[in-house]
């Protein structure tokens, strides 16, 4: 671990670790958003599909120690439309042989990703008595492996993403894209945000189902077509930021993670500034960073169900693999 941290520090210097990480403040006038009445019986179920442990200083300015980052997948259960996922989570094979399913920075052990056997979202859904083949759409914030890794495990679903992200991922993927995880997708649903109305401080949003229940929000910078999702739940809206903010520490410190991890550091800083402005103007919206489920852990509610990954299940899954 110490060698990996040393190599990581060298990489930071080589790739611009001295670049600013401070958010670019939103210059408009913050204002509360207006949402339609929530859909009755809309629910959110959350699955932890793995972990990533990296030095705190690389996550946000002033971060200390080692931070274990959540790798969630969010199942949105709509009473009329059916089931949607936001984030597919890790590919199931990384629990056995991660080499073909991680970008080089993760495969080198600099930002190690972990998953237990059976921890992928499809397996967990089956364990909870849910039908993964019933998922109609999978929305992905962006194409980094812990977000898009399992999309091909849902062959009958539409894969929903910003059209800029699809083009980048298929035509010019950079260092942290693994095209083998998504290049066989047969049913893309590209989103074109051009000409769409602004949503609070954000440039644009799309009402995915047409009833105000699921809004896909453009938050580019971490990748060219990064998106976040607002779920308008009965007990109050939840904003799932994706990697516009990795953890609560990014919001509190008003700083992004290491700039070179993003395709466009200044744009990532600008999206974080928009997110901070949004959170301040809308205190009734629960903001959940892309790798930090603590806001949901602290706010138990009947319309959100957190599926933990307890030690007994981990042990049972590991024993099954050994046998």
| Over residues 100-116, mean pLDDT | 68
Q: What is the pLDDT of residue 108?
A: 60
Structure tokens at 292: 């930090």
Closest-CA residue to 237 (of 150, 167, 190, 295): 295
Q: What is the pLDDT of residue 106?
A: 57
| Over residues 130-144, mean pLDDT | 97
Give first-to-last CA distance, the chain, whole Å: 30
More confident position, 130 or 99? 130
Tell me the three state secondary structure of residue 1.
Answer: coil
Q: What is the pLDDT of residue 260?
A: 84
Range scoring the smallest mean pLDDT among 2-16, 69-83, 225-239: 2-16
What's this model's pTM, rounded to 2 decimal places?
A: 0.91
The helix or strand, by DSSP H or E, that contains position 99, with its residue range, turns out to be: none
pLDDT in tens, 274-312: 999 999 999 999 999 999 999 999 988 999 999 988 644
1 vs 188: CA distance, rounded Å: 39
Structure tokens at 300: 């138990």
Tell me the three state secondary structure of residue 296.
Answer: helix
Closest-CA residue to 73 (of 128, 130, 150): 150
Q: What is the pLDDT of residue 33?
A: 95
Confidence label for 31 from pLDDT (cuts 50, 70 and 90): confident
Confidence label for 132 from pLDDT (cuts 50, 70 and 90): very high
**pLDDT higher than threshold 50 for residue 14:** no
Question: Mean pLDDT across the chain, nearest whole number?
Answer: 88
Q: What is the pLDDT of residue 44?
A: 98
Q: 175: buried, middle or exposed (CB in 10 Å: 19+, 13-18, 0-12)?
A: exposed
Q: What is the pLDDT of residue 8?
A: 43
Structure tokens at 88: 């597919």
Confidence label for 170 from pLDDT (cuts 50, 70 and 90): very high
289 vs 248: CA distance, rounded Å: 6
| Over residues 168-197, mean pLDDT | 94
More confident position, 2 or 228? 228
Q: Which residue is associated with the tokens 């990064």?
A: 226
């Amino acid at each position: 671990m110490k060698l990996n941290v040393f190599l990581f520090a060298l990489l930071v210097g080589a790739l611009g670790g001295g670049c600013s990480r401070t958010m670019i403040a939103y210059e408009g006038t913050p204002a509360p958003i207006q949402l339609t009445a929530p859909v009755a019986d809309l629910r959110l179920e959350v699955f932890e599909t793995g972990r990533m442990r990296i030095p705190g200083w690389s996550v946000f300015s002033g971060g200390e120690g080692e931070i274990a980052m959540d790798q969630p997948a969010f199942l949105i259960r709509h009473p009329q439309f059916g089931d949607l996922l936001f984030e597919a989570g890790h590919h199931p094979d990384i629990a056995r042989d991660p080499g073909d399913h991680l970008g080089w920075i993760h495969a080198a052990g600099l930002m190690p990703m972990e998953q237990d056997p059976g921890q992928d979202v499809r397996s967990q859904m089956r364990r909870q008595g849910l039908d993964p083949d019933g998922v109609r759409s999978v929305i992905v914030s962006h194409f980094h492996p812990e977000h898009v890794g399992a999309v091909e495990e849902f062959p009958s679903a539409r894969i929903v993403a910003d059209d800029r992200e699809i083009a980048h991922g298929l035509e010019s993927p950079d260092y942290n894209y693994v095209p083998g995880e998504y290049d066989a997708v047969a049913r893309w649903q590209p989103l074109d945000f051009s000409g769409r109305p602004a949503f609070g401080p954000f440039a644009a949003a799309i009402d995915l189902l047409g009833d105000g229940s699921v809004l896909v929000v453009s938050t580019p910078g971490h990748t060219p077509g990064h998106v976040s999702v607002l779920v308008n739940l009965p007990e109050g809206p939840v904003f799932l930021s994706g990697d516009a903010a990795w953890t609560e520490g990014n919001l509190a410190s008003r700083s992004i993670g290491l700039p070179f991890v993003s395709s466009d550091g200044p744009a990532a800083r600008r999206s974080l500034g928009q997110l901070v402005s949004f959170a301040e103007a809308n205190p009734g919206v629960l903001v959940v960073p892309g790798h930090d489920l603590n806001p949901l852990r602290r706010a138990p509610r009947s319309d959100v169900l957190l599926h933990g990954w307890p030690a007994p299940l981990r042990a049972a899954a590991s024993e099954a693999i050994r046998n």
